[in-house]
């Protein structure tokens, strides 16, 4: 039987979000209904509300979530009711040209639920990133559920579903940070701090945090930063060279999404090093670099979508390291809030007061 539950809805461009009754259908073939326990508030949710992603209002927001599988549809064998899962937006297809090349982390045909959740008047909802998890229960493709150790707290585990995974993976997967490397991260929000933490976990030696906010730089130290630079006061490129024997860092990671910080990341990198872009630019931004520098400095300029993660490989492994006390995931949870406080949490996020507010169901 379809169920009526609470959900956080963005009805129209710029309008404050509201808690509405939504209808969640029973899972069809290859689908699952998940009872959400916790869901983090991410910038992407705010971008949806502002109409910055597309115009398919109303949106059911929320996508950094963990919960318990309630029911599964026909043909679902990987998960069963009661399993503790993290939701992901990369349910790989296994058959596209990238999956066939053995690179499922770049899958071009990821799965979402086929059926629609609706408002009580029948209006179809667009779930944020194909998830929609600021709600008591949500309908997803079964492949969007990754089973992890239930010993992990839901408010912590759920964060791997998006921003924190993006940052960890930018360092570990895309940047391929390895033992002894020097790493510089530009922007120390949730994503940048996760990149610092990923660099630490990968064995980086020198880990440099760059931000324009002293509070953020203070927090960055809790995620492995060995040096901090306030780039509003000092030239970060010069300082990074100073901290790396005059050479620049082996891997630089841009976690803001702005041309000026990308340029800093480009010049703060050692010859033959790697620049990783994980911050998301606006469509109207442009970047200009001397062409000869692109050639002359060698190395790699890479973009990192969702930290190039493969949820089935990365989520259980990272939860395991967290449970062993080797990965600081708890530090990302600035506060836990009720479902009706998402709009408030957007304001705190805009003010830079939090890394992540997490809605508890
Ligand atoms: N130089 C350095 N740091 C900056 C600058 C700048 N010019 N401008 C902003 N910052 C810092 C902010 O002070 C903040 O600490 O960048 C950080 C951005 O963090 P958040 O706003 O919390 O964003 P976060 O969730 O970490 O996401 C960062 O990654 O996934 C993308 O869409 C996301 O583009 C965004 C980026
Ligand atoms: Zn695929
Ligand atoms: Zn997100």
Res 147: pLDDT: 98
Q: What is the pLDDT of residue 203?
A: 98
What CA–CA distance (Å, rounded) separates 352 from 215?
9
Q: Which residues surround ligand 3, an ion (CB under 5 A)?
A: 42, 44, 162-163
Nearest protein CA to atom 30 of ligand 1, as residue: 279
Q: Is the C-beta atom of 187 inside 6 A of ligand 1?
A: yes
pLDDT, tens digit (0-9, with 9 covering 90-100), for 44-68 = 999 999 999 999 999 999 999 999 9
Categorise residue 335: left if φ over 0, alpha if ψ from -120 to 50, beta otherwise: beta
Could you give the CA distance from residue 166 to residue 195 in angstroms, rounded to a whole number? 8
Nearest one of 110, 117, 72, 108 to 88, comparing CA atoms = 110
- Ligand 1 pocket test, pick from 42, 187, 252, 349 with the greatest ligand atom count within 8 Å of Cβ, gives 187
Q: What is the pLDDT of residue 283?
A: 87
pTM: 0.97
Please state, in angstroms and rounded to a whole number, the distance separating the CA atoms of residues 325 and 302: 30
Atom of ligand 1 nearest to the CA of 192: 26
42 C-alpha to center of ligand 3: Å? Answer: 5
Distance CA 195, CA 186 (A): 10
Q: Where are the beta strands (DSSP E) in 212-306?
A: 227-230, 249-254, 269-277, 300-303
Nearest to 75 by CA among 123, 111, 117: 111
Residue closest via CA to ligand 1's atom 29 equals 279
Sign of CA dihedral 34, 133, 64, 257: positive
Ranges of residues in the chain with a pLDDT under 50 are none
pLDDT of residue 43: 94
* Ligand 1 pocket check for 43: Cβ under 6 Å: yes
Structure tokens at 56: 């398919």
240 and 207 in contact (C-beta within 8 Å)? no
Whether ligand 1 lies within 6 angstroms of the CB of 191 is answered as yes
**Distance, CA of 1 to CA of 346 (rounded, Å):** 34
- Determine the pLDDT at residue 241: 98
User: Does ligand 1 come within 6 angstroms of the Cβ of 189?
Assistant: yes
pLDDT given for residue 48 in this prediction: 96
Distance 16 CA to ligand 2 centre (A): 36
DSSP code, position 135 = B
C-alpha span between 83 and 103 (Å, rounded): 27
Is 66 near ligand 1, meaning CB less than 6 Å away? no
CA 15 – ligand 3 centroid, Å:
20
DSSP string spanning 179-230? TT-EEEEE--SHHHHHHHHHHHHTT-SEEEEEES-HHHHHHHHTTT-SEEEE
Is the beta carbon of 258 within 6 A of some atom in ligand 1? yes
| CB hemisphere CA count around 304 (13 angstroms) | 36
217 vs 196: CA distance, rounded Å: 11
């Amino acid at each position: 039987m379809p169920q009526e539950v609470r959900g956080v809805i963005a009805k129209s461009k710029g309008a404050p979000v509201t808690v509405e009754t939504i209808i969640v259908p029973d899972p069809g073939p290859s689908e699952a209904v998940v009872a959400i326990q916790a869901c983090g508030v991410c910038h992407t949710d705010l971008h949806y509300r502002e109409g910055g992603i597309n115009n398919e209002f109303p949106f059911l927001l929320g996508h950094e979530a963990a919960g318990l599988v309630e029911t599964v549809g026909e043909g679902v064998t990987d998960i069963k009711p009661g399993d503790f899962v993290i939701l992901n937006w990369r349910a790989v297809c296994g058959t596209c040209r990238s999956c066939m090349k053995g690179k499922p982390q770049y899958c071009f045909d990821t799965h979402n639920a086929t059926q629609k959740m609706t408002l009580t008047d029948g209006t179809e909802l667009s779930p944020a990133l194909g998830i929609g998890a600021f709600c008591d229960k949500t309908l997803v493709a079964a492949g969007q559920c990754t089973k992890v150790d239930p010993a992990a707290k839901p408010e912590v585990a759920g964060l791997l579903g998006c921003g924190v995974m993006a940052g960890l993976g930018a360092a570990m997967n895309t940047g391929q940070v390895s033992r002894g490397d020097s790493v510089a991260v530009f922007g120390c929000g949730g994503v940048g701090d996760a990149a610092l933490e990923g660099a630490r976990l990968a064995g980086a030696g020198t880990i440099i945090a760059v931000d324009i906010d002293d509070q953020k730089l203070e927090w960055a130290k809790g995620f492995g930063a060995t040096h901090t630079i306030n780039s509003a006061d000092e030239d970060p490129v010069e300082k990074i060279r100073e901290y790396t024997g005059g050479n620049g860092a082996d891997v630089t990671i841009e976690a803001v999404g702005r041309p000026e910080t990308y340029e800093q990341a480009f010049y703060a990198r050692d010859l033959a090093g790697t620049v990783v872009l994980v911050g998301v630019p606006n469509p109207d931004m442009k970047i200009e670099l001397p062409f000869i520098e692109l050639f002359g400095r060698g190395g790699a300029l890479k973009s990192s979508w969702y930290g190039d993660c493969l949820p089935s490989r990365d989520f259980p492994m990272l939860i395991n390291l967290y449970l062993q006390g080797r990965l600081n995931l708890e530090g990302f949870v600035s506060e836990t809030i009720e479902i009706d406080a998402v709009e408030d949490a957007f304001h705190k996020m805009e003010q830079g007061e939090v890394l992540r507010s997490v809605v508890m169901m």
